[in-house]
Amino acid sequence: MPAPDACAVPPERGIEQERTWLRRTLKEQYDSASNHVARVLSESPGLRGGSKQSGDDVVTDLVAVRLYLSGGTDRIDSAVRGATVGPHVPLARCVASGLRRLPSYRGATMLRTTLSEAEWQWYGKRRLVTEWAFCAALTAAHPEMAGDVDVLIWSMTARRTALLDPTVPDRVLYLPGTSFKVLGVRDEERRVLLLRELTGPEIGADGSVDIRRLPLDDLAMAGLEQADTEWRDAKPAVRLPATALGALRNPPGLIVTGRGAGTAPPRKGTTP
């Protein structure tokens, strides 16, 4: 869990300081991205939110998301995930605020990664994980995704990003601080990790969560299994850009190591 000055979750005081920093420090990139955001807002005025929302704040938050998505996310994600302090923090907080303005998605999502044997076992021994960085996933499978573990996540509030970056139409982002329930792990020909996003009411004021089997778990499991079956034969019409693939290999709750493309973890009964 990151310290307050390294956390990407917007603080209770608000993020006016972060917005000012973004407009001043990244002025050239900001001006360029704001033109795209203005067009999006004219076509989707609902993104402006309630009447109390400042127009400048809305633009700034959405510009931050646009910059994050179009600039390559690996370096920012690594810094946020590593809980380090730096100039990425105000940007990440603006991104998180901007994502909250985008449409949400409820249903099955997936990413693909490579896990060592220890990392795989870590998930098998847990019932709850929390991701403090941005977690990217897709609402459809793409064959060019590398890895040997499919991470299937039932989304409740992940945000669709296509309005601000149509180059990856199936992408969603889970906000920093999102918690997930581990529904199961399957050690099959292709390993499968099944998760469900937890909603606010499920998390108590003290951070406690009821990890008993709930009807919503069964609903999510059924949805994930159906999606997994459909995705195995899916042939998406759009190929993923190379800049998006890296972020789609970060499973929630764990900083994985040694993820080389095509590097598989040793399996039972094999020699590393």
pLDDT tens series, the chain, 272 aa: 899 999 999 999 999 999 999 999 999 999 999 999 999 999 998 888 765 667 899 999 999 999 999 876 778 888 899 999 999 999 999 999 999 999 999 999 999 999 999 999 999 999 999 999 999 999 998 888 889 999 999 999 999 999 999 999 999 999 999 999 999 999 988 899 999 999 877 776 666 676 677 788 999 999 999 999 988 877 776 788 888 888 899 999 998 765 543 344 334 333 33
Residues found in the chain? 272
Instruction: Write down the pTM of the prediction.
Output: 0.89
* Residue in the structure block whose two tokens are 């042939």: 235
Sign of CA dihedral 151, 154, 160, 162: positive
User: Reduced to 3 DSSP states, what percent helix, strand and coil does the chain have, rounded to the nearest 5?
Assistant: 40, 20, 40
Give CA–CA dist 157/98, Å, rounded: 14
User: Which token pair is 29?
Assistant: 């990139």
Q: Residue 144: its pLDDT value, please?
A: 83
Q: Residue 161: its pLDDT value, please?
A: 97
Find, among 250, 230, 231, 259, the residue nearest to 142 by Cα.
231
Q: Residue 243: its pLDDT value, please?
A: 81
